[in-house]
């Protein structure tokens, strides 16, 4: 579904991604972990071209999306993205946040989009918030709306960039629950997170990225119970207290 070949990303003189090769198949839930500054968020952002790739190739459904003439907007419609800071549109109601893109991009009529929007809101347990505005919601609620908004475009893949890092601890659970539910429904997901418990429970595969390369990759059991890489061991000893 997603194939990444020799991916490099350079910011000015700083090499952030230093040759990543990865293959993510349909239905996989890939959790990306690693120390801060390791390039894991950059990797995620390259997948939907929010960052321009310096070198290397990314294929989505066998389409080379790093080709210069590719229709970026079309590619992004296949991939939903959830951000650390939610990035809801504060001037629009919750329902309008969700229906804006599907209606504007002519995927649905306004009525269809609202119906679908209500279904999605109920799926993330926010059915009664359709007419509220983002400023009236808690962090956890905002992030669940953000997930619903991304799902409204019927993406094939969902990308999560530290979705719970900006949340108060008591709200982390409600967002992870929605994500678990999504994983169970068979959605292909790539998740950058520091929630090791979540990674252990939900991931079909864990990638450990450090210094811009994938240092280790495997099932949660392999990674957490039997890490081979020294840096990986070091990292785990710090986060798994």
Binding site for another protein (CB under 8 A): 48, 50, 73-74, 76-77, 79-81, 83, 85, 87-91, 100-101, 104-105, 133, 135-136, 146, 149-150, 153
* Identity of the residue, 85 or 225, whose beta carbon is nearer to another protein in the bound complex: 85
Cβ of residue 240: shortest distance to another protein, in angstroms? 30
Min dist CB 70 to another protein, Å, is 13
- How far apart are CB 114 and another protein at their closest, in Å? 17
Q: Which is nearer to another protein, 72 or 240 (CB)?
A: 72
Do 143 and 163 touch, CB atoms closer than 8 A? Answer: yes
Shortest distance in whole angstroms from residue 201 CB to another protein:
26
Q: Min. distance of Cβ 132 from another protein in angstroms? A: 9
156 phi, psi to nearest 5 deg: -85, -25
Which residue, 97 or 193, has its beta carbon nearer to another protein? 97
DSSP string across 207-239:
EEEETTEEEEEE-HHHHHHS--SHHHHHHHHHH
In DSSP notation, 121-143 reads: HHHTT-GGGTTS-GGGS-HHHHH
Cα–Cα separations (whole angstroms), residue 68 to 46, 76, 124, 176, 213: 14, 15, 37, 36, 24
d(CA 144, CA 100): 17
Give 70 or 236: the residue with its C-beta nearer to another protein. Answer: 70
Kindly state the smallest distance separating residue 135's Cβ from another protein, in Å: 7
CA distance 198 to 228: 21
Q: Which residue lies nearer to another protein by CB, 150 or 179? A: 150
The smaller minimum CB distance to another protein, of residues 135 and 241, is found at 135
Q: How far is the CB of 111 from another protein (least distance, A)?
A: 19
Cβ atoms of 179 and 163 within 8 Å: the answer is: yes
Q: Which residues pair with 11 in a beta bridge?
A: 14
Taking a C-beta distance cutoff of 8 angstroms, is the pair 144, 126 a contact?
yes
- Looking at the Cβ atoms of 142 and 205, the one nearer to another protein is 142
The rounded distance, in Å, linking the Cα atoms of 223 and 218 is 6
């Amino acid at each position: 579904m997603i194939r990444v070949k020799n991916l490099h990303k350079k910011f000015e003189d700083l090499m952030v991604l230093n040759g990543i090769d990865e293959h993510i198949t349909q239905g996989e839930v890939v959790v990306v972990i690693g120390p801060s500054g390791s390039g894991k968020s950059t990797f995620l952002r390259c997948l939907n071209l929010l960052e321009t790739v310096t070198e290397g190739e990314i294929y989505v459904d066998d389409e080379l999306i790093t080709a210069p003439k590719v229709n970026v907007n079309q590619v992004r419609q296949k991939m939903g993205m959830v951000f650390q800071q939610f990035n809801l549109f504060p001037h629009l109601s919750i329902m309008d946040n969700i229906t804006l893109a599907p209606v504007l991009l002519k995927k649905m009529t306004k009525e269809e989009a609202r119906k679908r929007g209500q279904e999605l809101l109920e799926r993330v347990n926010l059915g009664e918030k359709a007419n509220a505005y983002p400023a009236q919601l808690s962090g956890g609620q905002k992030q669940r709306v953000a997930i619903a908004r991304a799902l409204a475009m019927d993406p094939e893949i969902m990308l999560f960039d530290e979705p719970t890092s900006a949340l108060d601890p008591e709200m982390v659970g409600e967002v992870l629950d929605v994500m678990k539910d999504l994983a169970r429904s068979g959605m292909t997901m790539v998740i950058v997170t520091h929630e090791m418990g979540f990674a252990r429970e939900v991931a079909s595969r864990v990638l450990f990225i450090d210094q811009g390369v994938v240092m280790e990759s495997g099932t949660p059991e392999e990674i957490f119970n039997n890490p081979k890489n020294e840096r990986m061991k070091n990292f785990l000893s710090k986060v798994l207290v």
